[in-house]
Amino acid sequence: MDKIKVMDPVLANKIAAGEVVEKCASVVKELVENSVDAGADEIKIEIEESGTKLIRVVDNGSGMSRNDAKLAFQRHATSKLLDEIGLFRISSLGFRGEALPSIASVSKVDLKTSTGSVGTHIVIEGGKLIKEENSDARRGTEITVRSLFYNTPARLKYLSSLYTELANICSYVNNMALSYPKIKITLINDGNVLLNTDGSGNLLKVIKEIYGANVARKMKKISIYNDDYDVDGYISLPEVTRSNKKHMTTLVNSRVIRNTELNRCINDSYHTYKFDNRYPIVVLNINSDPSLVDVNVHPSKQDIKFSNFEDLKELIYQGIRKVLEDSMLIPKIEEEKPKEKVKVEEQRLNLERENVIQSETLDYTLFDDDVMDINSDLEVHEETYEEYQKEEESKVMPEMYPVGLVRGTYIICHNELGMYLIDQHAAKERINFEYYKEVFANPKPNTISMLVPLTLEYPTNEFIIIKENINVLRDLGFKIEENGINTFVIKEQPTWLRAGYEEESIKHLIDVLLEEEKNFDLGKFREHAAATLSCKMAIKANMNISMDEMEALVNDLRKCKNPYNCPHGRPTTIFYSYYEIEKLFKRVVN
């Protein structure tokens, strides 16, 4: 008796749904992407109980005829991919023809659609057609998904909490709003408006809607290109960071993607400008010919393969570094402005209480209509700060004059724009770092014999690592030789070592060499070593220095290529405008 049989289509769709429809956000994603592909410039997303009860997506796109509406629920039926050649030049968000039949197989679907003439109304439950009739002629599509996973209780059981499902949906819709600023996107949960963009095409406005005006003010425009790729968008100043990588939004031809190497490249470009465990807010859209990328890697279409990937990474790395190097990165202290909040704030607090998402991960705070205009809200009215911004165009760092020291740690400076606080340890660290980085990159043959040769003994495993990379130390100017079992002797040292700290510096350098032994990279070793020595050799906090030493420190800092951060990412300088100081003392009133 034959055992192999063709699987029932409903069962096959339920199995496919396991890949395509993992959670409520998966349904929202597939429906919204269909709306975008249909040419909609207005998309309204309504959900109830975080999507577990109802998901409705309404658009003003091209709509479907009756035959197309029925055919759309058959597996692998699509209008977006017609031949094998098209598979290598995909420009639409969807193309597999799996989403609608998969969704319909595990829920109750109500579809109303029209191309502008007679509309079509279709009802499908569990993959079976229940109703087919005429509907209104409003151009576009309205699709409602109810009771998700009602007929697959095992899948329903493993849905996350309502708060997690809502957070996932919000994260996806935020990304779509950033991808398509020309589309008006509205997200409503249980009657509360969580996001409402205006579709004006202004990406900075969308960033403000999601992250707030304070973050939007601190975003920098980036626009770079090479022969294969055009990259544009916004990157945050180093003072604006988050605790996770979710806010590094990368798009390829307006498609949200996930690429670990690309995220690492973006984060690396901020190296020494921020803490290593903090991540910037970035929105980058990579435009290229569709033939240069392959999105047909995973059903989610978020994994992607690039042609000439190394060139793209180098373009992005150098582009971000250039924007940061050309920017005035002194944080400006501003008085917090009260925000008008709506009822959804209570929902945000519930999310935080559940510890599902951090308050900085997802911003549900909305503003009253009178402050929603990005053009007026992002204007800086203070005359002093306008002058401060002009300094950015003419100098790397404004000239300033020290007047005192606070707790032996913070140098107080001033100029015609306002007051500055400089962390003396962080400032000296930056000065040292740029000095040591230059020394390591371009070592000079100037050495001096040590009065007493330095003998260093190590365990066998560490001795082997040092011996393998001993030329790195010799190239820096150290005369180092083996001297018995597991022992080295250093007889000469480079003249750039700080007097009185020679032994300490040498030991720190060798410690870095041992830390970098896995996948040893000379460039990373030099940078790591420079950062380590710069910190160890810097002025410490709570160490009083003279006015002359303060002046010398400030002048040396202003000569640095990046005077704004220590090599570990902490700010060296903070700026208080006179206007903000006078506001704090109530000498002026807004």
Q: What are phi and psi of 482, to 5 degrees?
A: -70, 145
pLDDT (average), residues 192-215: 93
Helix (H, G, I), strand (E, B) or coil at 144: strand
Q: Give the residue with greater pLDDT, 108 vs 18.
A: 108
What pLDDT, on a 0 to 100 scale, did the predictor assign at position 451?
A: 86
Cβ proximity of 275 and 309 under 8 Å: no
What confidence score (pLDDT) does residue 590 get? Answer: 61
Mean pLDDT of 39-62: 94
Checking 209-216 for CB contacts under 8 A at 24+ apart, the result is 209/177, 210/174, 210/177, 210/178, 210/363, 211/281, 211/363, 212/339, 212/363, 212/365, 213/367, 213/371, 213/374, 213/377, 213/378, 214/334, 215/240, 215/281, 216/374, 216/378
Mean pLDDT over 467-478 rounds to 89
Q: pLDDT (tens digit, 9 = 90+) per residue, 336-391? A: 555 444 444 445 444 444 444 333 333 433 333 333 344 444 443 334 444 444 44
Residue with tokens 């034959």: 2
The domains located in the chain, with CATH, are 9-159 (3.30.565.10), 218-325 (3.30.230.10), 380-428+541-584 (3.30.1540.20), 445-495+499-536 (3.30.1370.100)
118 pLDDT band (50/70/90 cuts)?
Answer: confident
Q: What is the pLDDT of residue 405?
A: 94
> pTM to 2 decimals?
0.71
How many residues are present in the chain? 590
**Average pLDDT of 189-217?**
93
Select the more confidently predicted residue: 102 or 179.
Answer: 179
pLDDT value at residue 73: 82
How would DSSP label each residue in 86-118? GGGS--SS--SS-HHHHHHHTSEEEEEEESSSS
Q: Given the structure tokens 């100017």, which residue do they identify? A: 477
How are strands ordered across the β-sheet holding 119-125? 128-135, 119-125, 108-114, 140-146, 54-59, 42-48, 184-189, 192-196
Percent of the chain with pLDDT over 70: 79
Q: What contacts 536, CB < 8 A, 6 or more positions away? A: 501, 504, 505, 508
- 52-92 pLDDT tens trace: 899 999 999 999 988 888 888 876 555 544 444 444 444 45
Which tokens belong to 507? 């030991």
Q: Which value, in Å, is the radius of gyration of the alpha carbons in the chain?
A: 30
The pLDDT assigned to 9 comes to 62
For the chain, the maximum distance between any two Cα atoms, rounded to a whole number of angstroms, is: 98
Q: What is the pLDDT of residue 82?
A: 47
What does pLDDT average to over the chain? 81
Q: What is the pLDDT of residue 499?
A: 80
Q: What's the token pair of residue 357?
A: 């998402």
- pLDDT for the residue 75: 65
How high is the pLDDT of residue 111?
93
DSSP 187-216: EEETTEEEEE---SS-HHHHHHHHH-HHHH
Q: Is the pLDDT of residue 486 over 50?
A: yes
Residue-wise pLDDT tens digits, 559-583: 998 899 998 888 999 999 998 888 8
* Residue-wise burial string across 87-100, b where 16 or more C-beta atoms lie within 10 A, e elsewhere: eeebebbbbbbbbb
